[in-house]
């Protein structure tokens, strides 16, 4: 598709490396504070000359909590986005529960999910661009597997929501599309740790879906199945997570080198 490249350069300056110097991040923080909500927002982040598919987290006071960078861009996304590393797989302990996120198809990565389960995730956010009915099955499985609430958000878009050709083209289907053609059908949903769909999936149009979360369901679910607890087999399986940033270039001062030689 030509489109992702076009949008990548359109939004190249969306997120700077330091969020407190970025007006877009400040605007999101003000929105979270104004409406007193915990905000989990997908963005395209720029560090230097590399772009990342990223999720930002804000608390209800407008404080920027941190970010998660997508570990594995999907298919042609790899021509545009950099790869995240283990330093941005956070789970934030908040008054409403422990919150984390995985982006689109990286939700299919068992090791990533296991890392977040081990950090005690309770509210698992899954922004996506996958509007197929099979996505709901994946989200239900994660809720059951992790004993957590899964909140999956997807956009509902029509062709007219995108720039007109030739600026943006849907490869292989552009000729058959009308301005009102649905190009992404949404499917946002909220699922309980017991595998019960509490809201959605919504395929009808733009909407706000809500649900009351009973955190007691987490204990009820994990009483039967705790994937990183009593249902794990550490003498058979183990997982090591490298949480330090993976940089291509690192520097050591002469002082550090002297200390290491002692």
Give pLDDT tens digits for 166-186: 888 887 788 888 888 888 889
How big is the CA angle at 11 (ends 7 and 13), to the nearest 5 degrees?
A: 155
For the chain, state the CA radius of gyration: 20
The pLDDT of residue 238 is above 60? yes
Q: What percent of the chain has pLDDT over 70?
A: 89
Residue 123 and residue 59: Cα distance in Å, rounded? 14
Looking at the structure, give the CATH architecture of the domain made up of residues 3-261.
Answer: 4-Layer Sandwich (3.60)
Residue 144 and residue 218: Cα distance in Å, rounded? 10
Which comes out higher in pLDDT, residue 96 or 167? Answer: 96
How big is the CA angle at 260 (ends 256 and 261), to the nearest 5 degrees?
A: 120
Contact partners, residue 207, CB within 8 Å, separation at least 6: 156, 186, 188
Which comes out higher in pLDDT, residue 70 or 13? Answer: 70
The pLDDT of residue 6 is above 50? no
CA distances 146 to 28, 228, 241, Å, are: 29, 9, 18
CA distances 105 to 55, 102, 113, Å, are: 14, 8, 12
Residue 255: band (very low, low, confident or very high) from pLDDT cuts 50, 70, 90: low
In this prediction, residue 105 carries a pLDDT of 94
Phi and psi at 145, nearest 5°, equal -65, -45
pTM: 0.85
Instruction: Give all strands (DSSP E) within 48-91, no chain letters.
Output: 50-58, 64-69
Which comes out higher in pLDDT, residue 180 or 197? Answer: 197
| Domain boundaries defined on the chain | 3-261
What is the average pLDDT score of the chain?
A: 87
């Amino acid at each position: 598709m030509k489109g992702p490249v076009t949008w990548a350069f359109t939004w190249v300056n969306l997120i700077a490396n330091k969020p407190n110097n970025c007006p877009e991040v400040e605007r999101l923080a003000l929105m979270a504070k104004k409406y007193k909500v915990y905000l989990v927002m997908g963005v395209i982040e720029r560090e230097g000359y590399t772009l990342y598919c990223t999720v930002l987290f804000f608390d209800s006071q407008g404080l920027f909590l941190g970010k998660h960078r997508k570990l594995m861009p999907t298919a042609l996304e790899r021509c545009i986005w950099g790869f995240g590393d283990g330093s941005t797989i956070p789970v934030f302990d908040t008054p409403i529960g422990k919150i984390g996120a995985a982006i689109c198809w990286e939700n299919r990565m068992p090791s990533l999910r296991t890392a977040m389960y081990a950090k005690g995730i309770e509210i698992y956010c899954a922004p996506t661009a996958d509007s197929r009915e099979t996505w709901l099955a994946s989200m239900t499985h994660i809720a059951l597997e992790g004993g957590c609430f899964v909140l999956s958000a997807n956009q509902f878009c029509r062709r007219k929501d995108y720039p007109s050709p030739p600026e943006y083209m849907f490869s292989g289907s552009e000729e058959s599309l009308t301005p009102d053609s649905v190009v992404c059908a949404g499917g946002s949903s909220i699922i309980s740790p017991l595998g019960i769909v509490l809201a959605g999936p919504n395929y009808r149009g733009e909407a706000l879906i809500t649900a009351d979360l009973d955190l007691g369901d987490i204990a009820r679910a994990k009483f039967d199945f705790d994937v990183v607890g009593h249902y794990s087999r550490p003498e058979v399986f183990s997982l090591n997570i490298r949480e330090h940033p993976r940089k291509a270039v690192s520097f050591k001062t002469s002082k550090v080198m002297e200390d290491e030689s002692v």
